[in-house]
Amino acid sequence: MGVSGSGKSTVGWLLARRLGVAFVDADGLHPPANVAKMGAGEPLTDDDRLPWLGAVAAELAAAPDGAVVACSALRRRYRDVLRDGAPGVTFVHLDGSRDLLASRLAARLDHFMPASLLDSQLATLEPLDEDEDGVVLDVGEAPDRLAAQAARLVRVGLVGATAGRGRPGRSPGRAPGRGRALA
C-alpha cells in the first residue's frame, strides 16, 4: 500500500515471486471511469473507490494460496473494506519522502496517474493504526531489498501492531505462512 510512485507494483511483484503466490496490480481493476478521472487530473472520491476496493478484496479472497496485491489503500476505511472481504490481509506500507515520490512520478511515462495528484494522495493517506496488521518500509531502499524484508516478515508472521512504528511485532491470531499481502 502507499501513494503513487512508492513502488507498489515493483515491490509487490518481487514479493509475490519470493512468496510463490499470485500478483495482482489493483490499477488494472479500476473501472474505465476511474482511469479517465485520474487521467484528467481529478482525484477519486470515496464513492469512486469503494466498488474498486470491493473488486480488489474479491481478488484477494479468491486466491486460495494467498496473493500479493499492489493497491494504494490510503485510508483506514479502505483497508477495512479489504479486510472485510479478505480476512487475514497484511499491509506493507511503502513510505517515502514527497521529493523522492515526485521524482519517481516524473520519470514514469506510461501510467494514467499524473504526478499532479501526488499531493492529493499524500493528504488522503492515513498511516497504519496500531491495531492494523502491517509494517511500514522506507522506499529509499532497493526494491529487491524491500521485497526480501517484507517476505521475511510475512513468512514468520512478524507483522502486526508494533510494526506500524517500524518495529515488527507478531500478528494476533495469525499463524506464520504465506497469507495475503498488500504492497
Domain boundaries, the chain: 8-182
Cell triple for residue 132?
A: 492494523
Do the strands 180-182 and 67-70 form a parallel or antiparallel pair, or are they unpaired?
A: parallel
Instruction: Specify the 3-state DSSP secondary structure of 22.
Output: strand
pLDDT in tens, the chain (183 residues): 998 888 999 999 999 999 999 999 998 898 899 888 878 888 888 899 899 999 999 998 898 888 999 998 999 999 999 999 988 889 999 999 999 988 887 766 665 555 567 788 889 899 999 999 999 999 999 999 999 999 998 887 655 433 333 433 333 333 334 455 555
Q: Cα–Cα distance between 128 and 139 in angstroms, integer?
A: 16
Class of the CATH domain delimited by 8-182: alpha beta
Q: Cα–Cα distance between 44 and 122 in angstroms, integer?
A: 13
* Alpha-carbon distances of 149 from 121, 134, 174, rounded to whole Å: 25, 13, 19
Sequence-separated (6 or more) residues with CB below 8 Å from residue 46: 77
